[in-house]
Chain A
Amino acid sequence: MDAADALKLFELDNNVVPLSASDEKVYCYDGQLQSDQLDQRPWRADPRYYRKVEISSIALVKMVMHARSGGDIEVMGLMLGKVVGQTMVVLDAFALPVEGTETRVNAHHESYEYMVQYLEQCQAAGRQEPVIGWYHSHPGYGCWLSGIDVETQMLNQKFQEPFLAVVIDPKRTMSAGKVDLGAFRSFPEGHIAAKSQDTDSDGFQSVPLNKIEDFGVHADKYYPLDVGYFKSSLDQRLMERLWRKHWVSTLSQSPLITNGEFTTLKMLELAEKINIFSKDAKKNVSAGQIIRESDAIAEEVSQGYASNMIKKRLFGGT
């Protein structure tokens, strides 16, 4: 048997993988097109030029798992991707060997070396996209940028545009059973953010009391981007197959048990906020925020209860 022929048996045949036309576009990197777009430096004219983020399935899963693996410690990593018009597309992510508390999360010297080497290896293995941003975790206190995060982001946007900041809250992700993720870009120094509806959407994030000052002071130095998620048609088919094995864990998990402690903490936090609010209504806490938080807690608990009831009906006998 001719060896070359034999190899063709498994070399990737274009017709083997069902790609939609859009998959091809998204997953293929066109360096020329990218540099054409970047040469115009559209973010100079409009600080809010990038409005939307699209995150690939693999990048999302990697970031969430990395964030969760840190536990109470903040972790960080970098994202690879490209820009398309006003959208930033995140195609992959990788972890950096840095762990830190709130004040320590920024790329250190040793991790910089790691980063450069990692990128070289990625490119050698056929991943052509450059770094498009960084992500880090805020375990338990929501997705927003702290003062130090804003500084880091501003610095990066100065020298490495286009650059994006993504924040993930692994604790809230687990307690809500839904990915809690925010994407942000900072304004250039000295930019006065137009007081628009954005302040309202910022209020959506419930920030713990000990962080609320940090949040309030820096909230107008950056803006959130709309986040979308996408998957390839191969991912889609894989997910359908996976679901057939996966439903067991959906049914067997109990949100009440896994999140019991965190829910209690959130209740205490909320009680404290209500106290502050009843003493002085103008102090960083709004009624709408309290309502949203209390509703969120109630919803999570009722989800847990509902899943308990389903299991009791199914397996509990008469």
Chain B
Amino acid sequence: MASRTSGTVVVHPLVLLNISEHTTRTAAQSKAGSLTNAPLVCGALLGRQLENQAEVFLSFELKFNARDGGGPAPYELDDSHFLTRMDQMKQIFPEDEFIGWYVVGSSIQVTPGIAVLHQQIMRALPTALLLVFDAAFKTCDGGAALPLAVYDTLPPTRVERVKLQQNFGAVSNESTAAVDYYVESASDDAIPLEIDTVWASHLVPLRISIDSGEAERVAIEHVAHVSRPTTMEIMLGEESVGGASSMVVAGQESEQNVPVVLTSRMATFLSSQRNAVDMLHRDITVLKAYVGEVISGEAPFDPEIMQLVQRMLCNRPVVQNDEMFDLAMMQEETNFHMTAYLANITTTASVVRNLALRSNAALSAARNKHQPYVNTNREGGMYDGSSGMSSMFGGGGRHARQRGFGHFR
């Protein structure tokens, strides 16, 4: 398998969310019978491509028109729509190019129908990437894999026609084994073809990784942990039941889907860190189990994985006995303590100020009411001593005292 993957594609979560939204919307509309377009969920992928690494940043919907009479390709890409939107995206994101397209299906296999559309896209971009998103989430792999596959289009080669047919036949059997996909490219009459051969491009799967910009990460975490699943309440337009202030952290781990209601940001932060450590632990456990099985001979020896494990172990601990690092750590620790200390002092000063304000107000009220019982000889009230402290915070106490006592002196 590894020898067949020619490169890597980095997909940004924004693209996945966009596809998800497009799918949900189309499905909802088609159920309600208000779908205006062909029931295809397809879109363009924008990003950058370098050597054999591609990065997909953005996407937008593509429009396919139904062609009269159906035929082998019942849908046709709306070129003018595509070009206009491409032009619009260019104005805002000038660095991103059209590098491929996505289609949503019920598996990550390339079906003949997808191949027909891919031919049309190849007319616009012969090296277009093809992202197939599995809306049914059938791609199991222990529930960890992302439900998508990305294919790269290689330059066309001469392929036997039989091969073309065969492979799509295999798809319908839902085989998970890797299949060679070929897409027939525009036939070039100038080059004579042997009988039963066609020019076709090979679609090769790419290795997928997920990456996100820093703002994207924060926003995605917000979606993952703060956003609630849709409820009928939204549609009824009712006031939320106190949901605004308390954050519900749910679904971070599907295994234990117990919503925990948290109120402080610190708690949210710590729980997301904890979850990350959990994931790290989980992955280490998997690796450990694998290495153990290799030693006992139960699992096959994969030199690539073993080398990676060894390299990782050699690098650990990442930093050891580095004076500069320790110094930097200590500085940060000092900064943290100082900040916490300052915040505490500020809070304390404010509390003392409030106390001074209130006690003086109370005292002056008490003097008015029970004048005979209070020793009027005591100048300045019983919290006079706090004036030193309160002056640090604006001398509010003194203001109040003057106001409070002014009228009965």
Name which residue of chain A comes closest to B340, CB basis. A298
Tell me if A4 and B266 are in contact (CB < 8 A). Answer: no
Stretch at the interface among B34-42, B45-53, B191-199: B34-42
Tell me if B222 and A228 are in contact (CB < 8 A). Answer: no
Whether, in the assembled complex, A196 has its beta carbon less than 8 Å from a beta carbon of chain B, the answer is no
Chain A residue contacts of B81, Cβ below 8 A:
121, 124-125
User: Measured between C-beta atoms, what is the minimum distance from B22 to chain A in Å?
Assistant: 8
Chain A residue contacts of B296, Cβ below 8 A:
none
Tell me if A297 and B84 are in contact (CB < 8 A). Answer: no
Chain A residue contacts of B135, Cβ below 8 A:
12, 16-17, 234
Name A6-33 residues within 8 Å CB distance of B: 6-14, 16-17, 19-30
Chain A residue contacts of B17, Cβ below 8 A:
57-58, 61, 235, 238
- 1/0 per residue, CB under 8 A from A, across B229-262: the answer is 1111011111110011000000110100000000
In the complex, A127 Cα to B394 Cα: how many Å? 57
**A residues touching B (Cβ–Cβ < 8 Å)?**
1, 3-4, 6-14, 16-17, 19-30, 51-52, 54, 56-58, 60-62, 64-65, 67-69, 83-87, 89, 92, 95-97, 114, 117-118, 121-122, 124-128, 170, 173-174, 176-179, 226-251, 253, 256, 258, 267, 274, 277-279, 281, 287-288, 290-291, 294-295, 297-299, 301-308, 310, 312, 314-317
Tell me if B339 and A12 are in contact (CB < 8 A). Answer: no
Tell me if A19 and B27 are in contact (CB < 8 A). Answer: yes
Tell me if B29 and A28 are in contact (CB < 8 A). Answer: yes
Whether, in the assembled complex, B32 has its beta carbon less than 8 Å from a beta carbon of chain A, the answer is yes
Tell me if A233 and B215 are in contact (CB < 8 A). Answer: no
User: Measured between C-beta atoms, what is the minimum distance from B69 to chain A in Å?
Assistant: 11
Chain B residue contacts of A298, Cβ below 8 A:
339-340, 342-344
Tell me if B210 and A13 are in contact (CB < 8 A). Answer: no
Name which residue of chain A comes closest to B392, CB basis. A278
Tell me if A118 and B88 are in contact (CB < 8 A). Answer: yes
A-B contact pairs, 7 of them (CB 8 A): A9-B105, A12-B26, A16-B106, A57-B227, A87-B234, A235-B17, A306-B273
User: Measured between C-beta atoms, what is the minimum distance from B100 to chain A in Å?
Assistant: 17
Tell me if B146 and A20 are in contact (CB < 8 A). Answer: no
Whether, in the assembled complex, B316 has its beta carbon less than 8 Å from a beta carbon of chain A, the answer is yes
In the complex, A310 Cα to B278 Cα: how many Å? 12
Whether, in the assembled complex, B157 has its beta carbon less than 8 Å from a beta carbon of chain A, the answer is no
Chain B residue contacts of A95, Cβ below 8 A:
92
Name which residue of chain B comes closest to A252, CB basis. B276
Tell me if A307 and B273 are in contact (CB < 8 A). Answer: yes
Name which residue of chain A comes closest to B104, CB basis. A12
Whether, in the assembled complex, B303 has its beta carbon less than 8 Å from a beta carbon of chain A, the answer is no
User: Measured between C-beta atoms, what is the minimum distance from B6 to chain A in Å?
Assistant: 21
In the complex, A96 Cα to B91 Cα: how many Å? 9
Given contacts A26-B235, A57-B21, A58-B21, 8 further A-B contacts (CB under 8 A): A12-B104, A21-B232, A27-B24, A28-B34, A114-B91, A239-B251, A290-B350, A298-B342
CB contact under 8 A between A68 and B215, given known A239-B224, A251-B280, A291-B347: yes
Tell me if B347 and A295 are in contact (CB < 8 A). Answer: yes
Say which size band chain B's interface belongs to.
Answer: 35 or more
Name which residue of chain A comes closest to B20, CB basis. A234
Tell me if B239 and A52 are in contact (CB < 8 A). Answer: yes
Stretch at the interface among B111-119, B178-186, B364-372, B378-386: B111-119
Chain B residue contacts of A315, Cβ below 8 A:
316-319
Chain B residue contacts of A60, Cβ below 8 A:
219, 222-223, 227
Tell me if A246 and B212 are in contact (CB < 8 A). Answer: yes
Whether, in the assembled complex, B226 has its beta carbon less than 8 Å from a beta carbon of chain A, the answer is yes
Tell me if B393 and A278 are in contact (CB < 8 A). Answer: yes
Name which residue of chain B comes closest to A236, CB basis. B229
Whether, in the assembled complex, B213 has its beta carbon less than 8 Å from a beta carbon of chain A, the answer is yes
Tell me if B27 and A14 are in contact (CB < 8 A). Answer: yes
Of A8, A10, A84, the residue contacting B234 (CB under 8 A) is: A84
Tell me if A62 and B24 are in contact (CB < 8 A). Answer: no
Stretch at the interface among B122-130, B329-337, B401-409: B329-337
CB contact under 8 A between A278 and B240, given known A235-B17, A305-B336: no
In the complex, A29 Cα to B21 Cα: how many Å? 14
Tell me if A28 and B74 are in contact (CB < 8 A). Answer: no
Tell me if A303 and B266 are in contact (CB < 8 A). Answer: yes
Chain A residue contacts of B237, Cβ below 8 A:
52, 83-87
User: Measured between C-beta atoms, what is the minimum distance from A110 to chain B in Å?
Assistant: 10
Whether, in the assembled complex, B269 has its beta carbon less than 8 Å from a beta carbon of chain A, the answer is yes
Of A243, A249, A312, the residue contacting B329 (CB under 8 A) is: A312
Name which residue of chain B comes closest to A278, CB basis. B394
CB contact under 8 A between A238 and B239, given known A12-B30, A87-B234, A121-B84: no
Name which residue of chain A comes closest to B222, CB basis. A179
Tell me if B232 and A301 are in contact (CB < 8 A). Answer: no
Tell me if B332 and A308 are in contact (CB < 8 A). Answer: yes
Name which residue of chain B comes closest to A92, CB basis. B21
Whether, in the assembled complex, B311 has its beta carbon less than 8 Å from a beta carbon of chain A, the answer is no
Tell me if A250 and B28 are in contact (CB < 8 A). Answer: no
Chain B residue contacts of A51, Cβ below 8 A:
239
